[in-house]
Amino acid sequence: MNYDELIAVIRRLALEAGDKIMEIYNSDDFDVKVKSDDSPVTAADEAADALISAGLRAAFPDVLLVTEEQSASHAVKGDTFLIVDPLDGTKEFINRRGDFTVNIALVENGVPTRGVVYAPARDRMFYTLADGTSVEEAAPFSAAEAGKVTPIRVAESDNAALMVVASKSHRDQATDDYINKYNIKDMKSAGSSLKFCLVATGEADLYPRVGRTMEWDTAAGHAVLGGAGGRVVRFDDHAPLVYGKDGFANPFFIACAPAVDLKKA
């Protein structure tokens, strides 16, 4: 895999998909359908999926592609694959809360090694460079050429005063019970894979997820966090979260800066 080419392609596709999404987001109305698993899907999900899928297949025809909107057709996986959530945070999109993202990642040997997370309504974009380190690019964005980028790094966490980020749409008592095991300075809410990026930039120390997610929800954010020095581990035994699992379902997990003293569930 030519990582320079990969990053250029996934950055461009994320921006182009973001433009499509924002056209629909800013329209007077849009239809919401319900998938077989009772999750919502909109025309924005489908348009972004079609654009990204076509672009990745054209650029990397020999690499397996997994996307949320086409997941029913994915039965066989290899050691290396591209994985896409064209619109993570559909509920945030439907409710016009802005915390939704475009996510594209490369998984190698069970680990997301490169990825991009773009939040078009927030004008924030995070991605890994060819060397695997992570940056945030400043708006305004051009699909043709990268703008000013700033390297990002996780915080040097103080376990006596941690900053926690948790889900806007999936916060529950189990999450609060776990968070209460820590010494918390402050807490913020965010939607979609932005939570990984807030840990990656040092804006938060800890993001626990006690709830259902799929690999396409987490892979790009996981890659960005990994490139910023962070880690993502299973909630139960703190082993690294791996990808390429049957059915693509994740266990509960914790994303954090490495200095965080993790508590057992």
Of residues 153 and 38, which shows the higher confidence score? 153
Can you give the three-state secondary structure of 72-103, one letter per residue?
Answer: HHCCCCCCEEEEEEEEECHHHHHCCCCCCEEE
> If you average pLDDT over residues 192-197, what whole number do you get?
96
What residues have CB less than 8 Å from 138, skipping those under 6 apart? 147, 148, 149, 150
Closest CA to 155 of 124, 198, 126, 188: 198
Q: At what angle do helices 3-25 and 43-59 cross, to 10 degrees?
A: 160
pTM value? 0.94
* Domains present along the chain, CATH in parentheses: 3-151 (3.30.540.10), 162-256 (3.40.190.80)
What's residue 72's pLDDT? 60
* pLDDT surpasses 80 at 171: no
CA distance 88 to 104: 11
The lowest-confidence range among 38-42, 90-94, 130-134, 137-141 is 38-42
How far apart (Å, rounded) are the C-alpha atoms in residues 197 and 117? 8
Q: Choose among 232, 212, 233: nearest CA to 222.
A: 232
Mean pLDDT (whole number) for 209-221: 95
Q: Which helix (H) or strand (E) holds 25?
A: helix 3-25
Which band of pLDDT confidence, cut at 50, 70 and 90, is reported for residue 76? low
Contact, 44 vs 24, CB < 8 A? yes
Percent over 90 (pLDDT), the chain:
78
Q: Are strands 149-151 and 162-167 parallel, antiparallel or unpaired?
A: unpaired
Half-sphere exposure of 33 (CA within 13 A, CB side): 9
Burial of 139 (0-12, 13-18, 19+ CB in 10 A): exposed
The whole-number average pLDDT for the span 152-176 is: 90
User: How sure is the predictor about 169, in pLDDT bands with cuts at 50, 70 and 90?
Assistant: low
Of the pLDDT bands very low, low, confident and very high (cuts 50, 70, 90), residue 37 is low
Cα 56 from Cα 237, distance rounded (Å): 35
